[in-house]
Amino acid sequence: MGGDPLSGASASALLLDADAAWRCPVATHNWFDPAVSRPARDGSAGAAEASPLAEAPATTPGPEDLLERLGQWPGAVDLRGLAGDEEAAQVAATVAAVDRMAPVIVWPRLPHDMAGHRSGSPDALVLAGGPGGHASGYRPVLLVRHRVLQKSEHGDGPDAQLVGEGAAHIAVVGAVVRMSRERDLLRLAHHWRMLESLGWQAGGRPSGGLIGTDRVVPAPASGGQERPAGVGGAAAWTPVSGSPEGFASGGRALITWCALDAPVLRVFARTARSGWRRFSALERYDHEFEFRLHVARVALGRHGGGTGPEPAVRPVVVDECEGCPWWPVCRPRFDENDLSLHIDKARLDAREVSLLRAMGIQTIQQLASADIEALLPDYLPQVAHRAGGEKRLRVAARRARLLARGETLERTRPGAIELPPDGWSIDLDIETSVRDRVYLWGFLVSDPQDSAGSHYVHFSRFAVLDEAAERALAEEAMTWLVAQLEAHPEGRVYHYSDFEVVHIRRIAASGGLPQTVRAANRLTRTAFFDLFPVVRSNFFGAHGLGLKALAQSGAGFRWRDEEPGGLNSQRWFARAVGSADAVEKAALRRRVLEYNEDDTRATLALREWLRTLR
């Protein structure tokens, strides 16, 4: 639910919300340190860009639709209508619904847990046993925008309930909860601890529910027999295969009940022989929450002038930093040569960087000159939480040596680089939405006989695409491409990585397609040429070997946009689709097309540069 990112109450009360246990602890420090100014929150571009479901088809069940279905359970209390009321009124309505043991409470507002320093509320509360069952207390439920389940042939599968009329209890067979969903489990654990503080928690094993993008159907009969029974005699259901937009096609939404006391999370443990142990979500949450609480208490002891105790944490650049509102606060705290600041490919994680700092290695120059062999005996036992800890360190040191020399690329093989003969060619680049639908096919046509030079051709739809619309656009683009290759049988289609080929083959494998996409699919095996394997076998890059890194550092190519990137283009597309402003839509469309054209021209520049190397 809404509110401040870390605190749900006044500055006089130290309260952490459900995200604190997984969020970067430096963010917790920044929030409570009186010497740190709050980041600006104007709610402009970021708000729109952070809502990928905004471009989802209206027929796709999104969070609001699923909350609506929960609110239709018999006896349910839906408090979404109080969202604009005072917090006290929302809390009072929640308490009243709990007192009368409503089977479902949608959009509850939990009282703050002042003793436990917790604030926040789940998306729903469900009475244990469900409608008509034995009422023993509540379990928290969260809506998430990703899948919760993954396929598995082991175990009976999690217990679940269908979302909608009847709220039937089912057993999901052939699937388990994804252990990569640690963030979701920690948030459930936070709300479970809040329910415990109120005495509202369900009896039995601690558990919470996740409603994700998974969909299930009744498990098929086998050998003419009836459908297999699930756990405890509940009907068995099975997940539907996923679709590109994240939601599975067909099937029913479900609440997946997750045991919060089951040791399922693999966590670093210094004393374990293997370097890690398995902990339950509650154990993991309690540890992380207490640490954030310590960080916040130290931060509160500081003063406006920056005096007081030293912060309990130091910033380390991690993936979360990108887009974090606290980045302008953290950035000045880094040494200009900080290794976590500059090694941005296969980035060392916070534990690895902190360990190196403790060993006296803080900058790229120090890592570049370090004796790795001497470091390993003390280093490796403390990074057993990551697979390939030694290789990760050696690769980071190699990148540091490049950067320390002021270089970004290193040739790994001498001699000329083998490429197909120069001639008539096309450079191909596609753009996909956050749902992984191809909405733009971009082609740069280069004809040595054409004195005008290369020209850009694109096929695009700046709209929400369903499967049929994506196929229709692909058919249009592939019809053009096949005709071009038929007219130039010696021509080549160049691309960087297999991204384009994977999508052509995916679309060609879907049903109801005319022959041209299938013909293009066949041509990917004869007329297409992937430049990435060539680059990978000939170069090592300080910033990796992506097209942006190679085209800029090697070929000297420059994009017109100041922020070129695939993720940014997805945001521009989503904003273009969702904007009601015709001028803004046109500007964003032009920005995407220019970015895509520059990607194709960068591919051309890269291969032209590769031909010059000896």
Q: Are 461 and 433 in contact (CB under 8 A)?
A: no
**Selecting from 1.10.150, 2.40.160, 1.10.3470, 1.10.20, what CATH number does the domain 334-407 have?**
1.10.150
Using the predicted structure, report yes or no on whether residue 305 has a pLDDT greater than 90. Answer: no
Q: What is the mean pLDDT of the chain?
A: 86
Third-level CATH fold of 425-612? Nucleotidyltransferase; domain 5 (3.30.420)
Mean pLDDT, range 397-425, rounded to an integer: 95
pLDDT of 267 over the 90 cut = no
pLDDT surpasses 70 at 7: no
Quick: pLDDT tens for 316-335: 998 888 888 999 999 999 99
Question: Where does the pLDDT of residue 276 fall: very low under 50, low under 70, confident under 90, or very high at 90 and above?
Answer: low
DSSP state, 271? Answer: T
Q: How far apart are CA 72 and CA 553, in angstroms?
A: 58
Average pLDDT of 125-135?
A: 68
Whether this model's pTM surpasses 0.95: no
Dump pLDDT digits (tens) for 494-529.
999 999 999 998 888 876 655 777 788 888 999 999
**Per-residue model confidence as pLDDT tens digits over 356-383:** 999 999 999 999 999 999 999 999 988 8
Assign 227 a pLDDT band (cuts: 50, 70, 90).
very low
Q: What is the pLDDT of residue 378?
A: 93
Token couple for 70? 């929960």
Side by side, the strands of the sheet bearing 124-127 are 77-78, 104-106, 124-127, 138-143, 207-211, 254-259, 159-162, 169-172, 235-239, 216-218
Looking at the predicted structure, is the pLDDT value of residue 553 above 50?
A: yes
Residues sharing a CB contact under 8 Å with residue 148, sequence separation 6 or more, in sequence order: 177, 178, 181, 184, 210, 211, 212, 214, 256
Which residue in this structure is represented by tokens 């043991």?
101
Q: Residue 48's pLDDT is what?
A: 27
Around Cβ 201, how many Cβ atoms within 10 Å? 21
pLDDT the model gives residue 5: 40
pLDDT at site 59: 36
Per-residue confidence band for 268, with pLDDT thresholds at 50, 70 and 90: low
**Cα dihedral across residues 165, 166, 167, 171: positive or negative:** negative
pLDDT in tens, 467-490: 889 999 999 999 999 999 999 999
According to the model, what pLDDT value does residue 56 have? 36
pLDDT at 61: 45
Q: Percent of the chain, pLDDT > 70?
A: 86
pLDDT of 273 higher than 80: no
Write down the pLDDT at residue 66. Answer: 84
Per-residue pLDDT tens digits for 148-201: 998 887 666 788 999 976 678 888 888 888 878 899 999 999 999 999 999 999
Predicted pLDDT of residue 1: 43
Six token digits for residue 362? 């803080």
Q: What is the DSSP letter of 118?
A: B
Quick one: average pLDDT of 238-245?
61
User: 380 CB contacts (<8 Å, ≥6 apart)?
Assistant: 389, 390
| Exposure string over 49-72, b if 16+ CB within 10 A, otherwise e | beebbebbeeebbbeeebbebbbe
Q: Look at residue 390 and tell me whether its pLDDT is greater than 70.
A: yes
DSSP conformational letter for 97: H
Dist CA 107 CA 98 (whole Å): 13
489-511 burial code (b ≥16 CB/10 A, e <16) = eebbbbbbbebbbebbbebbeee
* Alpha-carbon separation of residue 245 from 146, 256, 508 (angstroms): 10, 20, 17
pLDDT attached to residue 169: 85
What DSSP string runs through 443-473?
EEEE-TT-TT--EEEEEE--S---HHHHHHH
Judged against a pLDDT cut of 50, whether residue 42 lies above it is answered with no
pLDDT at position 548 is: 94
Q: Which long-range contacts (CB under 8 A, 24 or more apart) does 556-559 make?
A: 556/605, 556/609, 557/601, 557/602, 557/605, 557/606, 559/595, 559/598, 559/602
Given this chain, do its domains 334-407 and 425-612 carry the same CATH topology? no
- Distance (Å) of CA 462 to CA 55, 246, 584: 11, 19, 13
Residue 19 burial (CB count, 10 A): 16
Nearest of 255, 281, 282 to residue 159 by alpha carbon: 255
Phi, psi torsion values for 47, nearest 5 degrees: -65, -45
- pLDDT tens per residue across span 487-502: 999 999 999 999 999 9
- Look at residue 133 in the predicted model and tell me its pLDDT: 52
The residues pairing with 126 across neighbouring beta strands, listed in sequence order, are 104, 139
State the Rg of the chain over Cα.
27
Residue 4 pLDDT more than 90? no
Instruction: Please say whether the beta carbons of 478 and 519 come within 8 A.
Output: yes
Q: What would the pLDDT profile of 417-466 be if each residue is shown by its tens digit?
A: 999 999 999 999 999 998 889 999 999 999 999 999 999 999 999 999 98
Tokens of 233: 């005699």
**Which helix (H) or strand (E) element contains residue 254?**
strand 254-259
Residue 400, both tokens: 């540091």
Q: Residue 494's pLDDT is what?
A: 98
pLDDT per position as a tens digit, 52-110: 223 333 333 455 678 888 888 889 999 998 988 899 999 999 999 999 999 999 999 99
pLDDT of residue 386: 80
Q: Which is nearest to 341 in space by CA: 360, 318, 323?
A: 318
Q: Where are the domains of the chain?
A: 51-260, 334-407, 425-612
| Run of H or E residues at 237 | strand 235-239
Instruction: Give the pLDDT of residue 11.
Output: 43
Q: Tens of pLDDT along 559-606? A: 999 999 988 999 999 999 999 999 999 999 999 999 999 999 999 999
The residues facing 267 across adjacent strands are 277
Residue 135's pLDDT band (cuts 50, 70, 90): low
C-beta of residue 385 within 8 angstroms of C-beta of residue 267: yes
Least confidently predicted of 236-240, 287-291, 337-341: 236-240
